[in-house]
Structure formats: structure tokens, C-alpha cells
Amino acid sequence: MVEVSARDGLQNEARSLPVETRVALLEGLVAAGLRTLEAGAFVSPRWVPQMAGTDEVLRRLGQPAGVTYSALVPNLQGLDAALAVGCREVAVFAAASEAFSRKNINCSIAESLERFGPVLAKAREVGVAVRGYVSCALGCPFSGEVAPGDVARVTTALHEMGCYEISLGDTIGVGTAQATSRLIAACAAEVPVSALAGHFHDTYGMAVANVQAALEAGVRVFDSSVSGLGGCPYSPGATGNVATEELVYLLEHQGLATGVDLERLIEVGVFIDSQLQRVGGSRVAKAIKARQCFS
């Protein structure tokens, strides 16, 4: 499980949170049992003010044994900033849609991959792991349907460049179980399925179904966000990532150990919702509360 609330979640919230609150969020998630977490992004605070202070967040967290705090880096400058605070893992972000790539990072897919070359090379030199993201894997807000073959090509390029894992993102939450199965099959034909991860948004309530489809196709790594934080700034109405609470509930009830304490996780969700002045909480949290009322 890769917890993305402190980066992919918070960067889409209108309210920017101070470093202290972001550190408390991440420490609470670790206390609940999560071990791989995005801590922030080394991007321009002018464009993503919610990620300002990521360097300080990582300094305060340190690098505790058994826990990986990663950060998104768009270029060498971002990588250098991550290295300066002891980051042992970083992530790069490409798109499977030309329209989205140009809108999101102002360049073509090919140009974005070319930019990542020096980042991967330097990361390899200093022994830092790099994870890749492919956005719009199941649909684009500008061009509509995205062919699985297009996703597979970008996934293969990232894998060949040295990304140890590639997270396939349903950025706008339009995927279905059938489409997810086709996507995984197309990508797994080019790279090992063990190098694939699922990143599903819940716009149409399909995220859990898509996780299940990916699970049945052999995927064993999934991104999620406590309390379903997140969204897509270029797709109004697109909701957040699959809630970590829901993912834990799904996996544990299929006999798959997550190592996460669901009750403590729900408490973290309540905490961060209160800090954002947001009426949130996953369906699982609400269901547990309802069950307690009748027990």
C-alpha cells in the first residue's frame, strides 16, 4: 500500500496546511501501520502552494527504519532538493494522453520522458529508487478515452529508464473493472506485472471495483489516500483517490494482511478532515460508526 494523501491528496485541496499539520498527518499514518508514504513534492510553490515546505516536512520526519517517505520530483532541481533532505525514493510523473501532458506539464509525452532521463541517471548513481506514474491511464478530461496500448508504451518507457515500479492512474475516475482488466493485460504484456501498481480515483464509485479487477489480474501494489483526499485540478467534479480505509477493509476481508490498524486509520482521517475543515470520512468509517450505534 502506498499512501498518497500528503501529496496527491493535499495538493488538490483548496486549503494549504502548515508543515506541522502535514508532519502530524504522516506520523499518524505510520502509527496506524502504513510504511510507504508520499511526503510531498519538490515543485514550484507558485503553481502548487500546497506543497511548499516539503523540504521541512522531510527534515522533521527523518528517515525512520522500515518506513519510506518519497517525494515527487519533476526535474533535476527537484531531485537535488530531495537528496538534500535525505530522500531515499522519488517519483516522476508522465501521462498517457498528449492533451493532458501539454496541459499539466506544458510538454509532449516524448519531451517529458526526455526530461526524466537525467533524473533517472543521477538517482541511479546515488542509489535512490525512482517510482513512475502514468496519469490518464483510463481516460483523459480533454481527449476522452485512452487506448491501453498508449498506456503500455509510456509504462514500458519508464520501466526501461529505470523506474522500479509504475503506478497506473485513473486520474479522473472514469474506469470500470472491465477497462481495468484490459489495461493491466496490455501493460503486463510489456513489463512484469510485479512492476505495476494501481492508482484509482472514485468519481463514479468504481475505485474499489477497479482495485479488485487489478488484484485479480495480479497487481499487488495500490495507491490510496486517507479519507479519500485528492482529485484532479484539470477535471472539475473528479473526486479523490480510493480511501485507504476502504482499501484496508477490502484487502483484509479477503485474507490479505495489510498491517494497518483500521480504527487508528479512521482517527487519522477524522483529524485531517478537521484540519481541512472538510466534511469527509470514507464510507467504511461511516459504516463502522453506524454499526457501533446498533451494537
Give me the active site residues, please.
232
Which of 169, 284, 161, 187 lies closest to 238, judged by CA? 169
Tell me which DSSP letter residue 74 carries. Answer: S
Which of 28, 39, 33 lies closest to 5, judged by CA? 39
Query: What is the Cα–Cα distance from 76 to 80, expressed in whole angstroms?
Result: 6
Query: How many degrees, rounded to 5, is the angle at CA 209 between CA 208 and CA 213?
Result: 115
Query: What is the Cα–Cα distance from 148 to 169, expressed in whole angstroms?
Result: 12
Which of 225, 162, 259, 293 lies closest to 13, judged by CA? 225
Strand 89-95, strand 165-170: pairing: unpaired
CA–CA distance from 84 to each of 14, 62, 164, 291 (Å)?
29, 12, 22, 47
